[in-house]
Amino acid sequence: MCGRYSITSPVAALRRVFAFEGPLPNLGPSYNVAPTRAVPIIIADEGARRLTFARWGLVPSWAKEIAAPPLINARAETVADKPAFRSAFKRRHCLVPADGFFEWQAQPSGPKQPYNIVVGEGGPFGMAGIWETWMAPDGGELVSMAIITTKASARLAPIHDRMPVVVLPADYALWLDPKERAREDAEDIFARAQHVDFRPYRVSRRVNAVANDDPDVIAPEGQSQLPL
């Protein structure tokens, strides 16, 4: 699964990677992004890419209320068929910018060991997402999203059995295409995620607490400047 991630690159760096149009929003670093937060996503809007914000935890358009726990992940194997996700999967894809994501490795005894997982030499990458608009009973609109996960790559399997689908830059346009797409295109994108150059490293258990949102959260274990 993907239950926490970080987005720390300046918004100008995100524009260089994702080539979105429009004004640059005020976007500070987030080292410990948790579900239900409003997070930046990249969507296709009338032929152009645009950065907007969505609640992490998809609310289907037909839902009568916001469910708990939030629908933060959609499995690649079933996203096309699950009632909560299938409409968004057909028509509303997004990229979720991140600089790393966290997974927790079970230990023979004691608490799980968290890892921060970056791509290549670091820097922003795009996770595959789907988004939806929900109309609240009071008439307000809520844009929400879920991150698509898949079977862990060989590099990450010793840490956790699932991982987010990281979309290769060459596939950004295909993934964001607002036209209703063939399922085979998405399956190819999901399969290529297995070959991403993931680089995991241990971090402190400070990441377990949502309130901890500072650079030490992503520091390699043992290099933190704050008490654990």
CATH of the domain at 84: 3.90.1680.10
Active site residues: 2, 103
For residue 225, being part of any structural domain is answered with: no
Structure tokens, 154: 């060989």
- Give the C-alpha distances (Å, rounded to integers) separating 98 from 8, 142, 196: 8, 22, 14
For residue 226, being part of any structural domain is answered with: no
Structure tokens, 143: 């844009």
26 is in which domain, residue-wise? 5-218
pLDDT in tens, 53-110: 999 999 999 999 998 899 999 999 999 999 999 999 999 999 999 999 999 999 999 9
pLDDT in tens, 25-34: 999 999 999 9
Q: Which of 159, 62, 84 is nearest to 115 (CA)?
A: 159
Please give the pLDDT value at position 178.
Answer: 64
- Tally of CB atoms within 10 A around 2: 24
- Residue stretches of the chain with pLDDT short of 50: 225-228
**Considering its fold, how many domains does the chain have in total?**
1
Runs of H (alpha helix) within the chain:
11-18, 86-91, 172-176, 183-192
For residue 27, being part of any structural domain is answered with: yes
For residue 158, being part of any structural domain is answered with: yes
For residue 227, being part of any structural domain is answered with: no
Strands (DSSP E) found in 60-161: 73-75, 93-98, 100-105, 113-119, 125-135, 141-151
Please give the pLDDT value at position 180.
Answer: 60
Is the whole-model pTM more than 0.75? yes
Please give the pLDDT value at position 228.
Answer: 35
Please give the pLDDT value at position 227.
Answer: 41
Strands 141-151 and 48-56: what pairing?
A: parallel
Please give the pLDDT value at position 137.
Answer: 86
DSSP secondary structure code for residue 220 in this structure = B
Please give the pLDDT value at position 181.
Answer: 64
For residue 82, being part of any structural domain is answered with: yes
Q: Which helix (H) or strand (E) holds 208?
A: none
Q: Which of 82, 186, 87 is nearest to 132 (CA)?
A: 87
